[in-house]
């Protein structure tokens, strides 16, 4: 699978500008032979959370746009995430469409990031976020979600061999981003394809460093602070090979772990 990571700047609170920019990047990646194109987090609005009432996608524009592009160009798109208004509030939602233009996943970010006020403005999701692309089980989580190893493990236990991570991760903590991603790849013995943004908004400067990491932990792509598209080839046989070499999934002791779980507080 040839993946393309779109590491872009995002215009704060300007969906029209961002849709134009994303269209250009998708076209470039498709022309360069990408099979699966990955976008960053909240690419329609950025973190303009106080303006979501007027800016969030209410008419499923994003889904229509991604489906049409995917079908026309025969590419899978892991659509990063966009701000969406649903019946009970705003969500940070990842849409994935396959080469036939079918929506194969709609994942709402599970863990809201307090330092960026998500807990005030956004609802939290409770779906798992696994899906299939070309017969391969994949997972999707969003940014802060990678700080919860049990959540990524749940995806791996449900069969994910490639986990996609769109993000708007600040430069101030970019060391955490790199280490956490590498750890999630090594412990789950899977590929991690992580796409962060560059540029800044009124509150944060973002750290780029979009990465493709192999199941043994090698970094196959690190885009540093470069705006543009990074490409990597993923050979899924590496997942089986690494899982055979060190059989973590066979050696896990679920019953042992759950025997020490604290009961929920009253
Ligand atoms: O966990 C972090 O340090 C960054 C998370 C974040 O920026 C986000 O979830 O949007």
Mean pLDDT by 10 residues, the chain (266 residues): 97 98 98 98 97 91 97 98 96 98 98 96 96 97 98 98 98 98 98 98 97 98 98 97 98 94 71
Q: Can you give the pLDDT at residue 59?
A: 73
Asked whether 160 and 138 are in contact (CB, 8 A), the reply is yes
What tokens were used for 11? 């215009």
What tokens were used for 67? 């489906």
Q: Can you give the pLDDT at residue 94?
A: 98
Please indicate whether residue 119, judged by its CB atom, sits closer than 6 Å to ligand 1: no
Q: Can you give the pLDDT at residue 246?
A: 98
Q: Can you give the pLDDT at residue 266?
A: 57
ipTM given for this complex = 0.96
What tokens were used for 92? 């940070």
Distance 252 CA to ligand 1 centre (A): 29
Q: Which domains does the chain have, with CATH numbers?
A: 2-259 (3.60.110.10)
What tokens were used for 136? 């391969």
Distance 126 CA to ligand 1 centre (A): 18
Which of 143, 199, 209, when mutated, tests ligand 1's pocket best, judged by the most ligand atoms within 8 Å of its CB?
143
Using CA atoms, how far apart are residues 159 and 62, in angstroms rounded to an integer? 27
Does residue 190 have an active-site annotation? no
Q: Which of 128, 131, 247 lies closest to 189, judged by CA?
A: 247
Does residue 24 have an active-site annotation? no
Q: Please report, to the nearest 10 degrees, the dihedral formed by the alpha carbons of residues 191, 193, 194, 197 taken in order.
A: 170
């Amino acid at each position: 699978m040839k993946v393309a990571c779109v590491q872009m700047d995002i215009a704060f609170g300007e969906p029209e500008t961002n849709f134009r920019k994303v269209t250009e990047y998708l076209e470039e990646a498709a022309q360069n032979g990408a099979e699966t194109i990955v976008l960053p987090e909240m690419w329609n609005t950025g973190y303009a959370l106080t303006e979501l009432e007027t800016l969030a996608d209410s008419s499923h524009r994003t889904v229509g746009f991604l489906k049409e592009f995917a079908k026309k160009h025969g590419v899978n798109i892991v659509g990063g995430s966009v701000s969406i208004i649903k019946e009970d509030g705003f969500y940070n939602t990842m849409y994935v469409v396959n080469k036939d233009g079918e929506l194969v996943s709609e994942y709402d970010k599970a863990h809201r990031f307090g330092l960026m006020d998500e807990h005030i403005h956004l609802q939290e999701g409770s779906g798992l976020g696994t899906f299939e692309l070309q017969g391969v089980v994949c997972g999707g989580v969003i940014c802060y979600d990678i700080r919860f190893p049990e959540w990524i493990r749940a995806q791996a236990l449900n069969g994910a061999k490639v986990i996609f991570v769109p993000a708007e991760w600040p430069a101030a903590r970019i060391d955490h981003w790199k280490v956490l991603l590498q750890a999630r790849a090594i412990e789950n013995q899977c590929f991690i394809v992580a796409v962060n943004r560059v540029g800044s908004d009124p509150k944060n400067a973002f750290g780029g460093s979009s990465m493709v990491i192999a199941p043994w932990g090698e970094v196959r792509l690190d885009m540093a602070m470069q705006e543009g598209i990074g490409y990597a080839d993923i050979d899924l046989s590496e997942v089986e090979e690494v899982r055979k070499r060190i059989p973590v999934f066979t050696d896990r002791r679920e019953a042992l772990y759950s025997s020490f779980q604290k009961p929920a507080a009253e």
